[in-house]
Amino acid sequence: MKIFQRIVRIVLTCAILPAALAGANAWAGLTEDQASTLAMSGGNTALKTLTSEARKGDRYAQSSLGLVYANGQGVSQDYKQAAQWWRKAAEQGEANAQLALGLLYKNGQGVPQDPKQAAQWWGKASAQGVASAQYNLGLLYASGQGVPKDYGQAVRWFRLAAEQGSADAQLHLGICHAKGQGVPKDYGEAVRWFRQAAEQGNADAQNNLGLSYANGQGVPKDDAAAVRWFRQAAEQGHAGAQNNLGLSYANGQGVPQDYDQAVQWYRKAAGQGDAGAQASLGALYAAGQGVPKDDKQAAQWYRKAAEQGVASAQYALGDFYRLGQGVSQDDEQAARWWRKAAEQGVAGAQYDLGNLYRYGQGVAQDHKQAIQWWHKAAEQGHVAAQYNLGVSYASGRGTPKNYGQAARWFRKAAEQGDAGAQLNMGVLYENGQGVARNYVQAAQWYRKAADQDDTDAQYNLGNLYYDGRGVIEDYGQAVQLYRKAAQQGHARAQGRLGLFYYGSGPGALPENKVAAYALFNLSAAQDPSRDNLALEGRSVVIKSMTRYEIETGQALSREMSRPGNLLKALDQYLAGPAGTKKR
């Protein structure tokens, strides 16, 4: 299943709520619960009592008073006051105050922003077993904020918090196992921790667990299970899961294919700014799947995704500008968006951008730039780019002529089944250009291209059979290949076929001056160049023809010139009274 992978972004969070601590209250003042109750009540009497006890040095009162100022409960919100009271409590070892003071330092609220101070206070709270502090400390080590970046330490603290049931820590511990950060990569362990967090309702973990099932990582691949977890996260508003659920409906993976449902979920995610969903919506509008086909809407959604850096959307938007589809045709804009996609490694965009440079469309014509972009695409296996590179090296266009390099790139494209490249490999082997001359190899490559109905390859292979080079001489095989190419309009093949009817290749075909003349005439009309043997053949054969034969040949030539009618007209003539009589 093709999934838009969503790795959870690390975000510092902690709940500044009083939590029970092990051990006896070292102060004779308020108990922790009493201080908490007073902090939550928010009344003047409660505030006076908390302030009085805090001034006496009661750490729980100090911690709770910090909470009152931080939340603005019965007083104006004042992070500086909060920091002062939390510091007093934290210095007496009150773990919640240490946790809260660390958060103020991390966010720069009431104190100068200082990740090192945050790490120090969270370290103190972590040592007392506060799961939120352990989790936050793990985040600092994972990001290298306030402490040296150290995934091993991050994993240590995530694990301590996770074992206390922190869903966020379980999620991040799973991510570390999935990515092999601080621990050996282990998808099974990643799934174990994702599941624990997911079962507590953590939407990020639910989405990641869905991805694990979709990709078969750490669990057997199970699209239905993936959909169940995506849905749980999606229903909580998780944009990535909404996108993945839309993708499941679009592809019919884990659920019956349903473009209407796909559109609904993509739209929810796209509305939250999810770039992958925006790109997918663009594709559905472009194809008219689940929504009426609407190129303008497609272009709008592609643009939203493209502006967020989605390479596939940038490539598609470039296509729209190139074709004037949903937007005004604009080669400069096409080049702009293709460049962005190309710089992210999209082979198709690299190839297309190379073509713009080749022809000077939307950019200044620059053959060297064209070759540079084709190289990038060709290295990724892009067949057309490999072919274009072969042509460039063979012709010396934009680069010094180099038949060795031409052979290298033609071979790569040919091995992927490109008929043009197979033809050119045959030419190189036949001529000994960039490779040692080898007619057997030439015949093999021509045959591959000929089997794909490449007319030049059919013609060239026919020539090899005619001359007995690389294959056993066989006029019958040559004729069959010339017929195939001639039927598809290959002028030289038509001329060669005419030579057979004029007596070249004894026994292969019955001699027939009218058929020869008609084929020569057809060939010469398409290719009047001097090296076309059909011109000379026509001038020779016409000398021995009667006026009636010439008129008949001209009429036959006209019939054969109708699209797809050459062999039918020729064979019908040869099967008739005039054709069966040797002329």
Q: What is the CATH number of the domain that holds 84?
A: 1.25.40.10
Residue 46 pLDDT level (bands cut at 50, 70, 90): confident
Half-sphere exposure of 49 (CA within 13 A, CB side): 17
- The answer to whether 104 touches 136, Cβ cutoff 8 Å, is no
Is 168 a member of any domain? no
Q: How many structural domains compose the chain?
A: 1
Q: What is the average pLDDT across 321-328?
A: 98
- The answer to whether 370 touches 398, Cβ cutoff 8 Å, is yes
Is 66 a member of any domain? yes
Q: Report the chain's terminal Cα–Cα distance, integer Å.
A: 68
149 vs 285: CA distance, rounded Å: 45
Name the CA dihedral angle for 458, 464, 466, 468, rounded to a multiple of 10 degrees. Answer: -150
- The answer to whether 403 touches 410, Cβ cutoff 8 Å, is no
Of 475, 493, 492, nearest in space to 484 by CA = 493
Three-state secondary structure call for residue 399? coil
340 vs 338: CA distance, rounded Å: 5
Residue 490, number of CB atoms within 10 A of its CB: 23
Rg over CA atoms, the chain: 39
Half-sphere exposure of 162 (CA within 13 A, CB side): 28
Query: Which H helix or E strand runs over 577?
Result: helix 577-580
Is 356 a member of any domain? no
- Helical H runs in 344-402? 347-359, 367-379, 383-395
| Sequence-distant (≥ 6) Cβ neighbours of residue 139 within 8 angstroms | 10, 12, 145, 154, 172
Residue 37 pLDDT level (bands cut at 50, 70, 90): low
Is 103 a member of any domain? yes
Residue 387: pLDDT above 80? yes
Q: pLDDT averaged over the chain? A: 91
Is 124 a member of any domain? yes
Least confident of 183-192, 269-278, 569-578: 569-578
Show the 3-state SS of 317-358: HHHHHHHCCCCCCCHHHHHHHHHHHHHCCCHHHHHHHHHHHH
Residue 41 pLDDT level (bands cut at 50, 70, 90): low
What pLDDT score was predicted for residue 18? 28
| Sequence-distant (≥ 6) Cβ neighbours of residue 321 within 8 angstroms | 327, 329, 330, 331, 333, 334, 337
Joined together, the tokens standing for residue 276 give: 């992958």
Interval 168-198: pLDDT, tens: 999 999 999 999 999 999 999 999 999 999 9
Is 507 a member of any domain? no
- Helical H runs in 468-532? 475-487, 491-501, 513-526
Is 68 a member of any domain? yes
Residue 29: pLDDT above 90? no
Torsional class of 25: left (φ above 0), alpha (ψ -120 to 50), beta (otherwise) = beta
Residue 144, number of CB atoms within 10 A of its CB: 13
Where in the sequence is the domain holding 102, given as residue range(s)? 31-128
316 vs 327: CA distance, rounded Å: 12
| Sequence-distant (≥ 6) Cβ neighbours of residue 546 within 8 angstroms | none
- For residue 346, give the amino acid letter: V
What's the whole-model pTM score?
0.83
Is 63 a member of any domain? yes
What pLDDT score was predicted for residue 577? 81
Residue 503 pLDDT level (bands cut at 50, 70, 90): confident
Strands (E), 73-154: none
Joined together, the tokens standing for residue 176 give: 């570390």
529 vs 4: CA distance, rounded Å: 56
27 vs 58: CA distance, rounded Å: 6
Of 305, 304, 317, 262, nearest in space to 284 by CA = 262
What pLDDT score was predicted for residue 43? 62
Residue 12: pLDDT above 80? no
Residue 25: pLDDT above 80? no
